[in-house]
Chains A and B, each alone.
Chain A
Amino acid sequence: MGFADFVCFEALIPELQATDRDGAIAELVSALDEAGQLGKGNCEVITRAVIKREKEASTGMGKGIAVPHVKHSAVKDIVATIGCSSGGIDFAALDKQPVYSVILLISPLDNPDKHLQTMEHVFKHLRQEKFRKFLRQSQTTEEIESLLREADENPQL
């Protein structure tokens, strides 16, 4: 399992326009939708579902990272995208600090084990300071994509 297996590179956003949580989520879900990952007419429902989940408990887990996610029948397999914000976004994070990297994950309803394996992969890298730093510094889609591909090759990154 690697980022290349579930991240939709077409939907990466190197600089989010939104400056608030709900806006950032909407932007990332729209990017997945425009890349044809969510089926027809599901964009708004999924955006609302992710925001609802985020309100129940923040996925801003500290160190500038948030991982909003939701299960939805619109996807057959896990799909993810990443957005960066140089100004930082308030995600009501655990450490109360702004979030600079937002990883959005949409999982199918019926595969909790794969959802966990995907999370494992994401956090294996996110706990590395170097990976977080490179992600935050990425300024183009290509830079994010090559960072993710490099991480897939190198478990230490």
Chain B
Amino acid sequence: MQTEQDSPQRVVCEASVEIKNADGLHMRPAMQFVDIANQFDCDINVSNEENTVDGKSIMQMSMLAATCGTKLKIRAEGADAKEAVDALRELVVDKHFDEPMPKKRSRKEKAKDLKE
């Protein structure tokens, strides 16, 4: 994470996060993200490789279609930028939206796939 401090009011903070829950950033996780983002005053943008969207808008966050394994960049700008990025990173990475991570595939399942 990088923090640049131009002035006390103008903090820019960025973090790269990877989506870890199996179902990806579908609507429920996107809403959790937007809910947390809206608790902060700073501007929050989220980018994938193609798009940068407003992290406070559910419609825009749903457009990211971030699947499990997708890397996103969170960029916050404003007095509470660092707190915002910390909270969002915790949600995405540490808590993975309180959803299951992908199951490790058993040898049996792999063998079955091979047969098919």
Interface string of A52-93 (1 = CB under 8 A from B): 000011010111010101000000000000000000000000
Are B26 and A115 within 8 A (Cβ)?
Answer: yes
Mask: chain B, 53-85; 1 = CB below 8 Å from A; 0 = not: 000001110111111100000000000000000
Q: Is the CB of A127 within 8 A of B22?
A: no
Interface of chain B, helix or strand or loop or mixed?
loop
A94 touching B58 by the CB < 8 A rule? yes
Q: Is A112 an interface residue when CB atoms closer than 8 A count as contact?
A: yes
- B59–A63 touching, CB < 8 Å: yes
Selected interface stretch from A3-11, A32-40, A117-125: A117-125
Pair B68/A112 contact, Cβ less than 8 Å: yes
Shortest distance between the CB of B100 and any CB in chain A (Å): 11
In Å, the complex CA distance between A123 and B31 comes to: 14
Contact among A61, A65, A116, A127 with B26 in the assembled complex (CB-CB below 8 Å): A116
A-B pair number, CB within 8 angstroms: 52
List the B side residues contacting A112 at CB < 8 Å: 22-24, 26, 67-68
Q: Does the CB pair A57–B22 fall under 8 Å?
A: no
Whether A127 pairs with B24 at a CB distance below 8 angstroms is no
Given contacts A61-B59, A127-B59, is CB(A116)–CB(B66) below 8 Å? yes
* Given A57-B28, A126-B59, A117-B22 contact (CB < 8 Å): no
Cβ contacts B30-43/A at 8 Å (1 or 0 each): 01000000000000
Residues in A lying within 8 Å of B, measured CB to CB? 56-57, 59, 61-63, 65, 67, 69, 94, 112-113, 115-117, 119-120, 122-124, 126-127
Q: Identify the 10 closest CB pairs spanning chains A and B, nearest first.
A: A120-B65, A112-B23, A116-B65, A123-B62, A123-B63, A113-B67, A61-B58, A127-B59, A116-B24, A119-B62
